Chains A and B, each alone.
Chain A
């Protein structure tokens, strides 16, 4: 099953500690080598993006940054047998933040990506 994990947090005032980045690289290498992580990338601050809104019949385009306090920081796509495996990789990812970046808060959503087995009538 495929899972999309999206990390959300406030934009930090300081860059992440080097130890954290090293830990993330190591964990990412492990997850990739095991065949579980099949894609991932960091996301630029929303100031570089835009929002396209539909309200009634009016399409509005607003350049970033968005007003929300939290920003999407990164995403990863996992291919695992169970939800618990994707959750465990994500738990390890957040545990690295707890270890190397005291005071940091954020959340990662683990979302199942629909596959052919979820098609209507399947």
Chain B
């Protein structure tokens, strides 16, 4: 690796560590999230030009901040709003010139998170902006993670910033009345990002683990920013526990391995411990929210030494509660599977029978039905169900898996 290459990696590493605080502080100074992101990007470009030559400054975060503030002052001067800029930016620069974002508890970052995940933005804009502003990902990295063109991501980010500006969405903490909706959006965005990595919805990959890792880091950050919010702890717990299974979710050739067949020795013990810690924090805060409930289910699997030792009765009970808290067909499918294990396949099939017809086009419905029918010994019907699941899925690896299940029942 030559020196210029090393320099770029180092600059990007520092960017990843500093960008959220940098953008959050700049957004507070300028009152404009989009502008803050532009200023921070300008500072990054300056660092990429200068640091490989001059070396990394001793306080790189402070350097980026000063550079971005100077750009802001130049910009405001050109716009004839110089006085305002000096007032806004001078306040903090004077207090501690070296390196302080005046934000020891991450309050600005919390505001940034709420702004990036504002329900007034389209969902894909929220995702792109969160990965960019909070996780420090480049447009290229986001494009790679979602298998879309870089220009598409660039457009999403610039449109997101434009929307924030038009709607007058500034860096604010939501009013008590809006808090629930805003929190839900923050957690949902992180969950969406995780799921896109965990179960790639299309294409040849079964998983994109680096994207799930980005979401996991965001979930940890969010839980740290909102220590009193049970569902933030619940989401962290869910993602740690789910990601702990990632090493066992594919075999050595990359083919998917479903939960009952996974080699539990390959589960990540450190993530399981962290997940259980977060789950207990959620319990202490008194949550029976959807993320904590799903985490509790994941915890049951994590604690079972073998698939046969799984406490399906407890899991079925948790799904019963989850379905009441968050009724949706996917939960019902999982509930059917849990009751199939806890109370026999016919209990599961009875739950499936209550699903709406619209779900007939959903591959997972037929996969669950196939498994329950196989458990009931109705191999011919099970085979037909798996064949239908294979025909409906858009994930290549899943298609192979369902095909194998079907063939295995001959």
Contacts and interface: CB of A to CB of B under 8 A. Distances in A.
Contacts of B12: 82, 84
Interchain residue pairs A-B with the least CB separation, the first 6: A35-B217, A35-B220, A84-B13, A116-B247, A121-B252, A33-B224
Contacts of B214: 81
A55 interface: no
Given A84-B10, A95-B58, A119 B252 contact: yes
A122 interface: yes
Nearest to B60: A88
Given A32-B224, A33-B106, A88 B218 contact: no
A88 B221 contact: no
A79 B220 CA distance: 11
Interface in B228-250: 246-247, 250
B252 A122 contact: yes
Nearest to B246: A116
A82 B13 contact: yes
A107 interface: no
A108 interface: no
B274 interface: yes
A120 interface: yes
Given A121-B253, A122-B254, 16 more contacts: A33-B220, A33-B225, A34-B20, A35-B220, A36-B217, A39-B274, A77-B270, A80-B16, A82-B12, A83-B9, A84-B10, A84-B13, A85-B16, A88-B13, A88-B14, A95-B58
Contacts of B9: 82-84
Contacts of B250: 116
Given A84-B10, A121-B252, A34 B217 contact: yes
Contacts of A119: 252
Interface of B: 6, 9-10, 12-14, 16-17, 20, 58, 106, 209-210, 213-214, 216-221, 224-225, 246-247, 250, 252-254, 266, 270-271, 274
Contacts of B247: 115-116
A89 B17 contact: yes
Given A85-B16, A85-B17, A122-B254, A35 B218 contact: yes
B216 to A, nearest CB: 7
B176 to A, nearest CB: 25
A116 B221 contact: no
Contacts of B218: 35
Interface string A80-102: 11111101110000010000000
A85 B13 contact: yes
A34 B17 contact: yes
Contacts of A21: none
A43 interface: no
Contact of B252 (A38, A81, A120): A120
Interface in A2-55: 32-36, 38-39
Contacts of A115: 247
A39 to B, nearest CB: 6
9 contacts: A34-B20, A35-B216, A77-B270, A79-B213, A81-B214, A84-B6, A88-B13, A115-B247, A121-B252
Nearest to B240: A38
Contacts of A84: 6, 9-10, 12-13
A38 B270 contact: yes
Contact of A35 (B13, B221, B252): B221
A24 B214 CA distance: 25
A29 to B, nearest CB: 9
A79 B217 contact: yes
A71 B213 CA distance: 33
B317 to A, nearest CB: 31
A87 B252 contact: no
A80 B210 CA distance: 10
B352 to A, nearest CB: 33
Nearest to A98: B58
A3 B224 CA distance: 21
A87 B220 contact: no
A79 B209 CA distance: 12
Nearest to B8: A84
Nearest to A91: B56
B221 A33 contact: yes
A112 B384 CA distance: 46
Contacts of A32: 220, 224
B281 to A, nearest CB: 14
A34 to B, nearest CB: 6
B106 A39 contact: no
A36 B246 CA distance: 18
Nearest to B218: A35
